[in-house]
C-alpha cells in the first residue's frame, strides 16, 4: 500500500469497527451530501443529486409507460385539511412543521409543510371528479416533504427529503389493488435492475401500515450491517380518504360512489441503500446503471507520445456508445491520488492508458466491485466496456443476494429468535399468529420489527414463534433503519 | 357556428371585453391549473405541468451542455442567514413565510421558507470552497419557492411557484459577467426557440435590480394586451454576498480572495407568457415545440370501414417520428364537441380521418394557429406533419414579433409618453437620463416602469424624455405583470 493509498483508506473508518461512522465518512468524503445549517436537514451535492436524477429518470419513464402523469400540488396544507382523516393526523401531527406567519402577518389558520400530500390532493380530487368516465386518476408528483424527525442521518432519515408521491383514484377496489401492486413491482424493478439491490416484497402488518390506509406493501432490503432498509411503499387506501374528503363520482348506474384510492412513494433514502448495500472500506461501489460516472479514464504519463490523443479518442468512442465517461487529466494531483479518489467515489470502471499500454495496443481496466485489474485490447474496447458494465451489475446484484441469503435465519421460538437477532444481525424468518401483541412484544424485547409478510410465503411450521398459538403468516423480522 | 361551437366559445370571455377574465377562463377551462385551498397558491394540473416538463427538459440540457450540475439545498433558511446581506433582507423580508414550530415544539430560531436560495447556498459555498482550482462552481437547482404576495394570478404571480435557480462562483469578475450573459442568452433561446415568444434582452435599472446584487439582466416579452412580462432574469452579484458570507479561496498567488457570483432563474410564469402571447378567443394556441400534445387524430365515423385501422397506423407512424400524438376515440362525445375541445386546448395540429378521406387517400389537417383546414395526402404524411409543425412555430414567432413591433411606440417627451402609455398599450421606446428621480416620476404618474436598457441601443435623440437633461440610455418602458 502506497502512502497515498494509506492516507485515503485511513480517512474512512472500517465498517467492522464502527458501521455508522463508516457510513458518515463515506457520504461526506465522496461529496454526496453535506449537513445543512438547520439540524436534521441535508444538502444533496451534485454527485449525490446525479444519482437521484438517474433514479428519477428510470421511474418517470416507467410511470409514464403505465399511464401516469405528473402534476404539482402546493407545499402548504391548512391545518383543517390535515386533520380531516383521523388516523392520518394522529400519525403525522407530531412531526409536521408549522407556518404561522406570512409576509410579517400572523396567519388566521396555521399551515403545515406537507409531510405527504394525501390530504391536499384529496381536497382537489373532490372538486374535480364527476363521473366514472374520468377514472382512473393516475397522478404523481416529484417534490420534497418535511417531517420533523428527532434522530436523523443523511439520506436515511432527514427532516426534509426528496421523493415522488403517486396518488391514484379508481372505480373499483380491484383496480386500486392492482395499481398498488403494479407500483410496488416497479419499485422492485428499480431496486434490482438499476440499483443492483435485491429486495423482499410483501405486506406490512396492521401496526406498521400507513396512517389512514387500509393495506401497505413494502420492499425491504438488507444492508451490510444486517439491518433492514424499507426502500419503498405502496398503499391501498381503500375509501378512507375518499369518504373523509367526500370524493364522489357518478357510477355506471348514475349513482354517487366513493372511488378507491392508492398512494406510493420512494425517496432519496434509496441512495443510502445503495451505499450500505454495496460499499466497502475503500468507499462507495456504485452500480453501473445508476452511477453518474460509469467509466473514468486516467492518462498515465500524459505528456508522453500520443497518450492524450488515444485518451481523447477512447473518450469520444465510449461517449458515442452512451456510456457516462470522464477523463481525469488534472495535472495537480499524482496518479496514485487520482486512482484512490475514483475508487473511493465508487466509479465502476477505471481505464488507465499510458505509453506501454499503447505500445501493446491495450488499456488497463480496473473494476471497482472486484478490485481486479486486467488488460483489454483497444480493438473493439467499446463493446468490451459495455459488456463489463453489465457484468458488474449482475455480479453486484448476485453478491448482494448472497449476502442476504447468508444473513437470513429461520427460528421457531423466542429463544432462538433473540439469539439470532442479537448475535447474527440479519433477516429472521418465522411463523407469526398475526396478533399485534406478539408483534409489540418482539419490538419491546429486541427493538426488531416485523418488516413484512412476504408475497412468497414459506411454510416453516404451524405455530407462532412468539406465543405458540396457531400461525397465520410467515414473516421477515429485522432491526431496521 | 354550430351549437356546440357556440357553447365553447361562450364559455371564454373575449379578450377585447375583459383580458384578465379571458386569461382566467382559458387557464381554468383548459385544465392547466386550479386554485389551491390556501389563497394565492396554485395546483399545476397535468396539462400545465407537461408544459413545464418540456421547458425543464430544454433548459436542463442547455445547462448541462454549458457545464452546470444540479443539486438540492434545503427548503428552510434560518433567519440569521437570511439577514446577513443587508439589501437582500430588505427586499425579501416583507414577503417570506415563517416556520415557528416543528413537531409541536417552538423553534429556537425562526426559519423562513426559501424565497430564493442565495443565502443558504452562500453559507454552504463558504464551507466548501478552498482554492481557485475548485472554481468555477456551476450549480443549479429545480425547486419551488414561496413569496407571500398580496395580489396573485395563477402562473403570473403566486405565493409558491416552480423555478430553477442557478448559483455560480467564479475566479474573476469577467468570468462571472460572461456567465451572467450566457445564461440570459439561454433564456432568450428558450423563449424564442421553444416558446415562439420573442423577447427584448437588456439590463435593469438600479431601482429594479435584484435585492443585494450588482447588475440584473432581463428578458422582456410583450403580451396581447400590451403589458410586458419579465420572463427571466440573470444577476451579476459581484462580491456582495461572497463578502457578507465570507466566501474565500486561495488565488493563484496563494492569497485569500472573494469569488464573483451570479444567480439566474426562470419560473412557471413562462406558462402565463405562452398563454398571453399566443392565445385567442377560442382558447390556447400552444407553440408546437412545447405543446404536450402536438397532434391529435380524430376518427370520423369511426365504426365505418377501416377508419380505426388507418387512424392507428397513422398514430404509430407519427409516434415513430418522435411526434407527441394522441388519438381521441372517445365515443361519448360528438365530433363537434371534440373538435372544439382540442381547439380550446391549443393543440397545434388536428388530423381528421373519415371514410371519405380514406377514399381519397388523404387526411384533413387543421392548424390551430391560422384556423386553416386543408387536405394532405396520406403518402408521406409524416414528413408533411413534421414540416407543418416547424412552419407553425415560425409563423407563431413571426406573428408575435409583428404584434410587438406594431405595439412599440417612440416618444420624445412626457406628454407623448403619457398619451402612448394610456391610449396605445405596448412598449414605449425613449431616451433616459439614468436618474432614479425620472424613473420614479414615470412610475408614479402612469404605473409604467422602465423594463430594461436593451443591449441593442438605438439613438433616438440626446435628451431625457422626462426631464430634458442629457440622455444616457435608450430604454423600453411599459406597464408590466
pLDDT tens for each residue of B257-268:
999 999 999 999
- pLDDT tens for A105-136 read 999 999 999 999 999 999 999 999 999 999 99
d(CA A199, CA A221): 5
What are the φ/ψ torsions at residue A266 (nearest 5 degrees)?
Answer: -130, 160
Burial of B379 (0-12, 13-18, 19+ CB in 10 A): exposed
Contact residues, chain B, for A124 at CB < 8 Å = 34, 36, 43
Which string of b and e fits B173-208 if b means at least 16 CB within 10 Å?
A: eebbbebbeebbbbbbebbbebbbbbbbbbbbbeeb
Start-end of CATH 3.40.50.800 domains in chain B: 295-388
Q: Is the peptide bond before B257 cis (omega within 30 degrees of 0)?
A: no
Task: Please state, in angstroms and rounded to a whole number, the distance separating the CA atoms of residues B63 and B185.
Answer: 12
If we measure between CA atoms, which residue out of B394, B479, B413, B475 comes closest to residue B443? Answer: B479
Q: Choose the closest CB to B103 out of A94, A111, A332.
A: A94
Cell, residue B4: 356546440
What is the distance in angstroms between the Cα of A172 and the nearest Cα belonging to chain B? 21
Q: Tell me whether residues A103 and B96 touch, CB distance under 8 A.
A: yes
Write down the pLDDT at residue B371. Answer: 97
- Strand ranges (DSSP E) for A427-472? 427-432, 449-454
Homologous superfamily in CATH for domain B15-278 = Bira Bifunctional Protein; Domain 2 (3.30.930.10)
pLDDT at residue A323, as a whole number? 98
DSSP secondary structure string, A357-369? HHHTTEEEEEETT
Q: Which pLDDT score, from 0 to 100, does residue A81 have?
A: 94
CATH top class, domain A3-278: alpha beta
C-alpha cell at B394: 415560425
CB contact under 8 A, A76 and B38: yes
Whether residues A81 and B37 touch (CB distance < 8 A) is answered with: yes
Q: How far is CA A171 from the centre of its chain?
A: 31
Per-residue confidence (pLDDT) for residue A56, from 0 to 100 = 98
Q: Are B93 and A104 inside 8 Å of each other by CB?
A: yes
With 60 as the cut, is the pLDDT of residue A4 above it? no
Asked if A122 contacts A245 with a C-beta cutoff of 8 angstroms, the reply is: yes
Per-residue model confidence (pLDDT) at position A10: 67
SS3 A9: helix
Nearest CA in chain B to A119: B37
Radius of gyration of chain B (CA): 25
| Number of Cα atoms under 13 Å in the Cβ half of residue B18 | 8
Residue of B nearest to A73 (CA): B43
Please state whether beta strands A449-454 and A473-478 pair in parallel, antiparallel, or not at all (unpaired).
antiparallel
Do the bridges between strand A160-170 and strand A200-203 make them parallel or antiparallel, or are there none, so unpaired?
unpaired
Interface with chain A: mutation pick from B37, B80, B166, highest number of A CBs within 10 Å: B37
Look up the pTM and report it.
0.96
Residue A284 and residue A279: Cα distance in Å, rounded? Answer: 5
Residue-wise pLDDT tens digits, B58-101: 999 999 999 999 999 999 999 999 998 888 888 888 899 999 99
pLDDT in tens, A14-73: 999 999 999 999 999 999 999 999 999 999 999 999 999 999 999 999 999 999 999 999
- The pLDDT value recorded for residue B9 is 57
Contact B334, B298 (CB under 8 A): no
Return the residue of B nearest to A109 by Cα.
Answer: B38
**Domain spanning A295-403: CATH superfamily:** Anticodon-binding domain (3.40.50.800)
Using a CB-CB distance cutoff of 8 angstroms, which residues of chain B are in contact with residue A333? none
Whether B356 shows a pLDDT value over 90: the answer reads yes
Q: What angle do CA A261, A264, A269 make, to 5 degrees?
A: 160
B323-350 pLDDT per residue, tens: 999 999 998 899 999 999 999 999 999 9
Among residues of chain B, what percentage have pLDDT more than 70? 98
Residue B268 main-chain phi, psi, to 5 deg: -60, -10
Taking CB atoms and an 8 Å limit, are A150 and B49 in contact across chains?
no
Candidate from B36, B71, B111 with C-beta closest to A74: B36
Q: Give, in degrees to the nearest 5, the angle at Cα A421 between A418 and A425.
A: 160
Are A43 and B76 in contact (CB < 8 Å)?
no
Q: Strand pairing partners for B138? A: B168
Using an 8 Å CB-CB cutoff, list chain A residues near B143: 144
The span from the CA of A58 to the CA of B81, in Å, is 37
Overall average pLDDT of the A398-404 stretch:
98
Q: Does domain B408-478 have CATH number 3.30.70.380?
A: no
Comma-separated ranges of CATH 3.30.930.10 domains in chain A: 3-278
Residue to test with chain A: of B29, B32, B34, B36, most A Cβ within 10 A: B36
ipTM over 0.90: yes
Question: Is residue A190's pLDDT more than 60?
Answer: yes
Classify strands B449-454 and B200-203 as parallel, antiparallel or unpaired. antiparallel
Q: What is the pLDDT of residues B138-171, one digit of tens each?
A: 999 999 999 999 999 999 999 999 999 999 999 9
CA distance A314 to A293: 15
Q: A295, A327 in Cβ contact below 8 A?
A: no
Domain with CATH 3.30.930.10 in chain B: 15-278
Q: Read off the pLDDT of each residue in A377-388 and give the average, rounded to a whole number.
A: 96
Interface with B, mutate which of A97, A125, A324 (most B CBs under 10 A): A97
Q: Choose among B72, B73, B99: nearest Cβ to A97.
A: B99
Q: How far apart are CA A386 and CA A228, in angstroms?
A: 32
Residues of B in contact with A77 (CB under 8 A): 37-38
Bridge-based pairing of strands A160-170 and A427-432 is unpaired
Q: Which letter does DSSP use for residue A165 in this model?
A: E
User: What DSSP string describes B232-301?
Assistant: EEEEEEETHHHHHTT--EE-TTS-EEPPEEEEEEEETHHHHHHHHHH-BTTB----TTT-S-SEEEEESS
Q: With both helix axes pointing from N to C terminus, report the angle between A381-406 and A307-320 in degrees, rounded to the nearest 10.
A: 70
Give residue A331's region: left, alpha or beta (phi > 0; psi -120 to 50): alpha
Q: What grid cell was written down for B23? A: 386569461
> Quick check: B431 and B438 in contact, CB under 8 A?
no
Q: Does B102 contact A98 at a Cβ distance shorter than 8 Å?
A: yes
Domain with CATH 3.40.50.800 in chain A: 295-403
Omega within 30 of 0 (cis) for the link into A136: yes
Q: Which of A80-84, B52-56, B209-213 has the highest mean pLDDT?
A: B52-56
CATH of domain B295-388: 3.40.50.800
> A481 vs A20, A49, A66, A229, A282, CA distance in Å?
11, 21, 31, 5, 23
Amino acid at each position: 500500500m502506497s502512502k497515498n493509498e494509506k492516507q485515503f483508506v485511513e480517512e474512512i473508518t472500517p465498517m467492522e469497527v464502527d458501521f455508522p461512522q463508516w457510513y458518515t465518512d463515506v457520504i461526506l468524503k465522496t461529496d454526496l451530501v453535506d449537513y445543512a445549517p438547520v439540524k436534521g436537514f441535508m444538502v444533496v451535492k451534485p454527485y449525490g443529486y446525479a444519482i437521484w436524477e438517474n433514479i428519477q429518470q428510470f421511474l418517470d419513464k416507467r410511470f409514464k409507460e403505465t399511464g401516469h402523469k405528473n402534476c404539482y400540488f402546493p407545499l402548504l396544507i391548512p391545518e383543517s385539511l390535515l386533520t380531516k382523516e383521523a388516523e392520518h393526523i394522529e400519525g403525522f401531527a407530531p412531526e409536521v412543521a408549522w407556518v404561522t406567519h406570512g409576509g410579517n402577518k400572523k396567519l388566521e389558520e396555521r399551515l403545515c409543510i406537507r409531510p405527504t400530500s394525501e390530504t391536499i390532493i384529496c381536497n382537489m380530487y373532490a372538486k374535480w371528479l364527476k363521473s366514472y368516465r374520468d377514472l382512473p386518476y393516475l397522478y404523481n408528483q416529484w417534490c420534497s416533504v418535511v417531517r420533523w424527525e428527532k434522530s436523523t442521518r443523511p439520506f436515511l432519515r432527514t427532516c426534509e427529503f426528496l421523493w415522488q408521491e403517486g396518488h391514484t383514484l379508481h372505480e373499483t377496489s380491484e383496480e386500486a389493488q392492482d395499481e398498488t401492486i403494479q407500483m410496488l413491482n416497479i419499485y422492485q424493478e428499480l431496486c434490482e435492475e438499476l440499483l443492483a439491490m435485491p429486495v423482499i416484497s410483501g405486506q406490512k402488518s396492521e401496526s406498521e401500515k400507513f396512517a389512514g390506509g387500509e393495506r401497505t406493501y413494502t420492499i425491504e432490503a438488507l444492508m451490510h450491517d444486517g439491518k433492514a432498509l424499507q426502500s419503498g411503499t405502496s398503499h391501498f387506501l381503500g375509501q378512507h380518504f375518499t369518504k373523509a374528503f367526500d370524493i364522489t363520482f357518478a357510477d355506471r348506474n348514475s349513482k354517487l360512489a366513493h372511488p378507491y384510492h392508492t398512494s406510493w412513494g420512494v425517496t432519496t433514502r434509496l441512495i443510502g441503500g445503495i451505499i450500505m448495500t454495496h460499499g466497502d472500506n475503500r468507499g462507495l461501489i456504485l452500480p453501473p446503471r445508476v452511477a453518474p460516472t460509469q467509466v473514468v479514464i486516467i492518462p498515465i504519463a500524459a505528456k508522453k507520445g500520443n497518450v492524450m490523443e488515444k485518451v481523447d479518442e477512447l473518450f469520444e468512442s465510449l461517449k458515442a456508445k452512451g456510456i457516462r465517461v470522464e477523463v481525469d487529466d488534472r495535472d495537480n494531483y499524482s496518479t496514485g491520488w487520482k486512482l484512490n479518489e475514483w475508487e473511493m467515489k465508487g466509479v465502476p470502471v477505471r481505464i488507465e492508458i499510458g505509453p506501454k499500454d499503447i505500445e501493446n495496443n491495450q488499456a488497463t481496466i480496473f473494476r471497482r466491485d472486484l478490485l481486479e485489474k486486467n488488460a483489454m485490447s483497444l480493438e473493439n474496447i467499446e463493446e468490451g466496456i459495455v459488456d463489463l458494465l453489465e457484468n458488474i451489475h449482475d455480479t453486484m446484484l448476485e453478491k448482494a443476494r448472497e449476502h442476504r441469503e447468508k444473513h437470513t435465519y429461520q427460528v421457531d421460538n423466542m429463544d432462538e429468535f433473540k439469539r439470532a437477532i442479537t448475535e447474527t444481525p440479519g433477516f429472521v424468518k418465522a411463523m407469526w399468529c398475526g396478533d399485534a401483541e406478539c408483534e409489540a412484544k418482539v419490538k419491546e424485547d429486541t427493538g426488531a420489527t416485523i418488516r413484512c409478510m412476504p408475497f412468497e410465503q414459506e411454510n416453516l411450521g404451524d405455530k407462532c414463534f412468539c406465543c405458540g398459538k396457531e400461525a397465520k403468516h410467515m414473516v421477515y423480522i429485522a432491526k431496521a433503519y
